[in-house]
Chain A
């Protein structure tokens, strides 16, 4: 075991991302590596590949990272960011098809139990603990 799966929150809004991160921390404290970002490169609503890459780096775990996204552009930019990762990391980062707030809290709670990446993802997507 090399630590818990990391969680990344990607929203169009920095406020939503930060608020979601606070809810995750309230649930799991600092047991789960956490990264978040929101807003376009100018600080407006949107998402930034550069910021997503930084958030993945912050939440990096050898166990992998699960990304929770809000709307379309967040997903497309997250998938692009994953492709831009070094090859050794690429296969260990997934985007979860789940609502960002509920998904992040569920995923982090599962991750805090030491569950592997595929289980964390499934829990987020089904919104039910494994």
Chain B
């Protein structure tokens, strides 16, 4: 049961984690993009924090949709519609009572929505390269699920380092995008890590 308190803790933890790492995200983006990912995500999630009481007062689905809309309106880069679409889609699928199977289904739909929004796919050096492996582990379930989710998110973000960017500003660099972690993959991994911390009761 994702009650109001859990919803609030979830939104605050994710938002604070992204905000705390904003400079790192900007540095990653400066290497292969336009250097605004950190600042954009900070602006978006500061708006989420500012509205966290209102957002978490709603049902889990509605609060996720609220996060999505806030990111769409406030981020100011392509990550706004991309993460906005992710949260809007998750919000459409998830209710207060939620089990792993439902999260898997919600994740499948959300990944499809992000693919459509970004006209992108797996292996193109984007946030999808984190979301998809995380979905794989969610599907497997089994022992130590939280720890494995965190590990796969981190390793998946690192796996974007040798990839060549096909979408987004980084694709302008072609071969030169190889050797840098994708900032969107990193921010996606940060969020997965924060969500797992809340689910384990560490945050």
Contacts and interface: CB of A to CB of B under 8 A. Distances in A.
Interface of A: 12, 40-42, 44-50, 71-73, 76-77, 79-80, 84
Nearest to A75: B78
Given A76-B81, A76-B117, A50 B169 contact: no
B34 A80 contact: no
A68 B163 CA distance: 31
B118 A40 contact: no
B103 interface: no
Interface stretch (B53-61, B68-76, B94-102): B68-76
B36 interface: yes
B43 A41 contact: yes
A76 B78 contact: yes
Interface residues of B, number: 21
A73 to B, nearest CB: 4
A44 B39 contact: yes
Interface of B: 34, 36, 39-40, 43, 72-74, 76-78, 80-82, 84-85, 117-118, 167-169
Contacts, number: 57
Contacts of A72: 78, 167-169
A41 B74 contact: yes
A40 B81 contact: no
A49 B80 contact: yes
A97 to B, nearest CB: 12
Contact of A46 (B76, B82, B118): B76
